[in-house]
Structure 1
Amino acid sequence: MSNAIPTSTSVLESMVIDAPLSHVWHFIKLQDFSKFYSAIEKSAFVKDANEETDIVKWSFKDGTELEVKMEEHSTLNHFITYSVISAQPAISYTSVVSTIRCFPVTCGSHEGSTFVQWSGNFSSDADAGVIEDAKFKRREALADLSTAAKK
């Protein structure tokens, strides 16, 4: 019998950012995450990657490096989907696919703002600690995105 605690393998965080969609969407490019997310020191395209594949390396301030691959991108529907293809140090799970979606808020007290939703779907070997960490990292990044978009 396993001692592992059963857990969801997905995370979903969201925020209303008090800035128009055009200000928020401007930051949602894998190569530009370092322009808003304070945990990332540098983000840049991987030079030797296939020209038809968008792969970006995120170098975090704590020394972690992730290579992320653009899986899907829509400037019409304002979303990107990306996957982690390599990590140093190695991650404890097999895979994760994340999506960031932006929606304009068109009426009500938040009219003119942007609703941002950031999901992550992990492989079944991700444990509760991985999911909890992903939740807090997304919350931190959304707060940083909000600050950057309001400038």
Structure 2
Amino acid sequence: MPAGIPTSTSVCESAVIEAHLSDVWHLIKLQDFSKFWSKLEKSEWVKGTSPETDIVKWTFKDGAALDVKQEEHSSIDHYITYSVISSNPAVTYSSVVSTIRCYPVTSGQHEGHTFVTWTGNFSSDADAGVIEDAKFKRREALADLAKAASGK
């Protein structure tokens, strides 16, 4: 059996978005990702789940669908953490937990803008292809977020 390419099982992408923190943070709701992320056809609450569980289905334009569960949310520290709990078609790894965090830029040439990080921590069975795909999807989504938040 051939060995896989050793790789990190985490990814972190970031961007400075030319918009105020409140304009960016307003868009960071799992059920609203399709309002900015061009790869998504729709993002909607999953009906029939318990009131304590926030689960959203992301349906991608290529037909893939993910059920994502909000694990943490802070309106004070401006971050959300979510996990993928199911996927159709099935993913090749056991789990991933992602966090999107927004920071106001308070000085320098980007003062008044927002610094955003989007991390993903995958289970150890994720291969290099999974990590590369996650990197590029986050980059594309951050570019889409920047367009939506800045009105460009």
Q: Which TM-score band applies after superposition, normalised by the shorter structure?
A: over 0.9
String of CA shifts for 1:30-74, please: whole Å, max 9, x gaps.
000000000001000000111110000000000000000000000
Q: Identity over aligned residues, as a percent?
A: 72
Q: Please state if 1:69 is matched with 2:69.
A: yes
Give the TM-score normalised by structure 2: 0.98
Q: Which amino acid aligns with 1:139?
A: R
Separation in structure 2 between the aligned mates of residue 90 and residue 2 of structure 1, nearest angstrom: 23
Separation in structure 2 between the aligned mates of residue 16 and residue 54 of structure 1, nearest angstrom: 28
Separation in structure 2 between the aligned mates of residue 3 and residue 52 of structure 1, nearest angstrom: 42
- Give the number of equivalent residue pairs: 151
Q: State the match for 2:117 in structure 1.
A: 117
Structure 1 segments unaligned to the other structure (5+ residues): none
Separation in structure 2 between the aligned mates of residue 143 and residue 121 of structure 1, nearest angstrom: 21
Separation in structure 1 between the aligned mates of residue 46 and residue 78 of structure 2, nearest angstrom: 24
Structure 2 segments unaligned to the other structure (5+ residues): none
Q: State the match for 2:9 in structure 1.
A: 9
Q: Please state if 1:105 is matched with 2:119.
A: no
Q: State the match for 2:83 in structure 1.
A: 83
Give the TM-score normalised by structure 1: 0.99
Q: State the match for 1:146 in structure 2.
A: 146
Structure 1 outlier segments of 4+, above 2 Å: none
Separation in structure 2 between the aligned mates of residue 92 and residue 50 of structure 1, nearest angstrom: 28
